[in-house]
Every structure is written in structure tokens, then in C-alpha cells.
Amino acid sequence: MPQVQNAPPIPGLQSGRKAVVVIFETDCPTCQLALPYLNSLQRDSVQVIGLSQDDERSTNEFIRELKISYPVELDSGLKISRAYDPQNVPTFYLLDESGQVQQTLVGFDKQGLNDLAAALGHSPIAPADDGAPAWKPGCSSRHLEPEVDGGAAEGSAKLLRRTGDPASRITLRDEEDPFEYCRQKFGDALPVIPPTVEKVEAMVRASGLSPETIVARVPPFYGEATVEKIAANAVMAGCVPEMMRVLLPLLRAACDERFNLHGVQATTHFAAPLVMINGPVRQELGFWSKQNVFSNVARANSTLGRAFQLILLNIGGGRPDGIDMSALGNAGKFSFCIAENEEENPWEPFHVTRGLKREQSAVSLFAAEPPRGVSEHTAPAGKTVLETISFALATVWSYRMCLMPEAIVILCPEHVKTIHRDGITKEQARQFLFENTGIPVRHYSKEERAEGTQLAANYKEIMVRGEKCYQKFRSPEAISIFVAGGTAGKFSAVIGSWSTGPAGSQMVTYPIPNK
């Protein structure tokens, strides 16, 4: 980097020591996301210096809001930025003892930050499951913007601050009914429990966090979900304080950019987040996984799912009479939470398939259509059961639409018992469903222009039951299997997805802290 040879000295940089220098803007969301991760380096005596491209007022606010603990200097006149010439911010530079650049990192990249820390002999500084995305691009560097050439600019430090404003205290007049007030202002058309200060404080204490801590920003309004505001919604939904242990990782998972909660909340589609619980927490907090698993049988399932939906309404702004534009909606928007019947599952539990250990509790989220039932009471063989399910899988999203959908198959205990008895593994079951779910080519007419026909040129032709078909799913991984329900009754279910992939909603699985 020849420009660096003639760069002005970096204020505060001590020669003879390695250092991390980061150039940033205060109004860049990626900078706001990334810079707090360096605090742990500074705490372990690594020399860290921030160089702000903005004015003193914005920079001071940035430091205060994000609790930056390392020295931050102003890059007056952007002279250092011009010398180092970063194309984007944030840009991180690892300098050796003589001030030479040894490593450069641009934007927010968890693996890159951990590699940077490793180069300094430090442990990882960016956990995988803290609710932040794995990667996020930065903004253009100020010195490349002609409108601010030669000077610093004002910014905003609000977007990714780590603590939020306290929840509003509301005092009702004696003649006002607190139940009716809360139902009208914060409810979902069902009665809610008024979140008194005492009840909310008990919920906050159970979290082990300070009430002003921001756990996530909830799309589409990106409201700050502080622990206190999450607790207030949990009280209204009827949760016990111990449920905060599940609700906090659930919020982080929902706001993981891979899940695309913004799209899920605003779409005209049926989609609603389906919450799936695995691991020891099922027994510890009473999550139900047996008969009537989608129904109103257990407090844990019903209140967690409802608290989550109230948060999406009250903090995220996804109200069904407003920005939530679903044409027909989904009953799951009251509560949509199930647990896996791991005791009746002869295969590995769902969260193990998703990469976690069996003894780890976990929550998974899927942007789901309503369940559609599959009745198969007479099939003697496991493959016949799977074949029946494949007919239901053919209808998810839209009958003629292929490649885009994903699906979860909820296998009841009797069906999975039959399939397992025939020596079929979980992976073989997924492969069978993938290979045997197809839409007959004869159902695609150029004249009809029905949904899905316009993409037929991209579809793969296969033979299913002796007939030429288009393959419904893009891969076996697009089909997930979850075991739930009662031990009597051969009813399974198929749940389709919203739009999937990087441009849609991807399933996410987050660990829940064990006791």
C-alpha cells in the first residue's frame, strides 16, 4: 500500500506495538454494527484506535451510544483516509510494530474479525449466534464522496446503539379498565394481561440482563426490542418469567437477516413464523409435542408463540390492519409454536439435523404456510406413506410452482414408526420425497399461463410413477422432517414455505441456554 508510506501519523498510535486501526463513519449501519466487537480486544490490552470521518459531535454521540471503550480520533480533513484510501467503511487495518499494514478487513465479517483477533493471539470476538448477520457490506468511504470533500460530515448514531430508552409508564384513571385498555392498545384482538411494573420487573430479573439492553431490532419498523419491552409483551401474553430464557434467543433468531422478517411480516402471502422447540427445555418449561400439538393444549407453546407475535405487532409494527398485507392471513399469527416429540422419533432430533448437539436446547424458525393434513391409515409400507405425503408436497406454494418452495413434513409417531420399521433412514426418507414429488408436464399449458408455467424452462424433468414430471423441489435439503403429534391416529402434515433462498426467507436455528 504505497499511500500509507506517506500517511500522516495516526493520533495516539504507539510505535513498537501491534495495533488495530479502523476507519469508520458514524451514520454507517455496518460501522455501528461492527465497531463494538473491538471492545474485547482493547480490554485485553490490544492497541485499538478508531478513526472517525465525521465531526466531533456525531463522533462523541457514536462513542457514547455504542459504549466504545477504545480511543477514537477524528480524521480531520480526511487526510488519513486519503492516504490509506479505503473504498468502504468500516475498514480494519492490522499494523505491525513498525506501523506497516499486515492485514485488511472491509465491512462486517464475523469470520474476518475472528481471524483478525487470532492474528493477535486473541480468542474469537464475534460469536456466531448473537443475532447479528455473518456478513454485511459497508458504506462508501467519505473521502470518495465529492459533496463532503475536504471536511467531516454529520451522521447519526441511533441505528445500532446497544441500549434503548425505557418503556413508557402509563397511569390509568380509576374508571378505565386496564384489561380493555391493553387489549385495544397492545393486543391482538384477544384479552391480554396488563403489564404492571411489578410483573415486568420480575420478567426482566429472570432474563439476567439490564432492562435497557437492546436484544434485537424488529422489522419492518426496526423498533428497539429492549429486555424491558420484550418482558412487557411476555406479561401480556401470559408467559411465566422463565420463558425469557427462550424468548430472547427467539427474537435474535427472528431478526437474523437470513430469516428476512421484514419480508415475512409485510408479504401478501400466508406466511407466519413457525416456532419449533427442541432439547431439554421442552421438559423443563412444559412445551407440548404430543396430541393436538398445533392446538391450545399447553401454556408454554401458547404463551411463547403469542408473546412473539405481540412483539412483532407492538415493536415491529407488523399489524394485520396495516403493514401486514397478507391477503388471507394465518391463524398462526395468534401463536404458532410446537415442540418435537423426540421420545417417539427413532431418528436424530430436528436440531441435531441442523447441526446442534442432542443435549442442547434450540429454537428454529420457518416462514410457514398453514399446515395441510395427510391422512394415510391403510398403507402397510413406509414407502407408501411417503408416497402419499409426496402428493401433498406437490401442492405447497402453488401446484405448478417448482424450485422456489421448501417444506416441513410433520410426521406423526405412527407414520414414522412404519417408515423406520422398513429400514428407511431420515435422509433416505427426504431423498425419496425429493425424487417422487413432481408435477406432471401435461399440466403445463402455454395457453393457460397459470402460476409457475412461466418458469417451466428452468425446471428439471424426471419420471415419477411412470409419468414425465417437473421435479418440485430444488434439492432434498428443501424438505425437512419434524416428528410430532399423538401416538394414536395416522395423520401427518405438510407445511409449505414463503419464498426461500437468499432473496427470501431461510430457516434459522438458535441455541437456547441450558439450565
The DSSP letter of residue 188 is S
**Which residue from 475, 515, 494 is spatially nearest to 376, judged by alpha carbons?**
494
Determine phi and psi for 409, rounding to 5 degrees.
-100, 115
| pLDDT recorded at residue 160 | 56
Taking only the tens place, the pLDDT of each residue in 379-410 is 999 999 999 999 999 999 999 999 999 999 99
| pLDDT recorded at residue 144 | 75
Q: What percent of the chain has pLDDT over 90?
A: 74
State the average pLDDT for the chain.
Answer: 91
| pLDDT recorded at residue 323 | 82
Give the model's confidence band at 153: pLDDT under 50 very low, under 70 low, under 90 confident, else very high. Answer: very low
The DSSP letter of residue 189 is S
Q: Please, are residues 306 and 237 in contact by the beta-carbon 8 Å criterion?
A: yes
| pLDDT recorded at residue 134 | 82
| pLDDT recorded at residue 302 | 97
Q: Please, are residues 394 and 472 in contact by the beta-carbon 8 Å criterion?
A: yes
Taking only the tens place, the pLDDT of each residue in 262-305 is 889 989 999 999 999 999 999 999 999 999 999 999 999 999 99
* Cα angle for residues 511, 514, 515 (degrees, 5° grid): 160
| Omega prior to 146 cis, within 30 of 0 | no
**Which carries the bigger pLDDT value, residue 134 or residue 346?**
346
Distance CA 255, CA 270 (A): 19
| pLDDT recorded at residue 221 | 80
Determine phi and psi for 203, rounding to 5 degrees.
-65, -40
Question: With the CA atoms of 97, 103, 109 and 113 taken in that order, what torsion angle do they form, in degrees rounded to the nearest 10?
Answer: -30
Determine phi and psi for 116, rounding to 5 degrees.
-60, -45
Region 116-126 average pLDDT: 93
Per-residue pLDDT at 152 exceeds 50: no
Per-residue pLDDT at 417 exceeds 80: yes
* C-alpha dist (Å) from residue 38 to 111, 287, 304, 380: 14, 39, 34, 60
Region 308-326 average pLDDT: 91
Region 492-512 average pLDDT: 93
| pLDDT recorded at residue 88 | 84
Tell me the β-bridge partners of 492.
374
Cβ-based neighbours of 129, under 8 Å, separated by 6 or more:
249, 252, 510, 511
* C-alpha dist (Å) from residue 144 to 6, 82, 268: 19, 9, 40
The DSSP-derived string for 238-296 is T--GGGHHHHHHHHHHHTSTTT-HHHHHH-SSS-EEEEEEESTHHHHHT---STTTTSS
Assign 3-class secondary structure to 487-502.
CCCCEEEEEEECCCCC
Lowest mean pLDDT among 295-304, 337-346, 450-459: 450-459
Threshold 0.95, pTM exceeds: no
Per-residue pLDDT at 474 exceeds 90: yes
Region 51-68 average pLDDT: 92
* C-alpha dist (Å) from residue 440 to 280, 429, 432, 437, 463: 44, 22, 17, 10, 9
Per-residue pLDDT at 213 exceeds 70: yes
| pLDDT recorded at residue 5 | 65
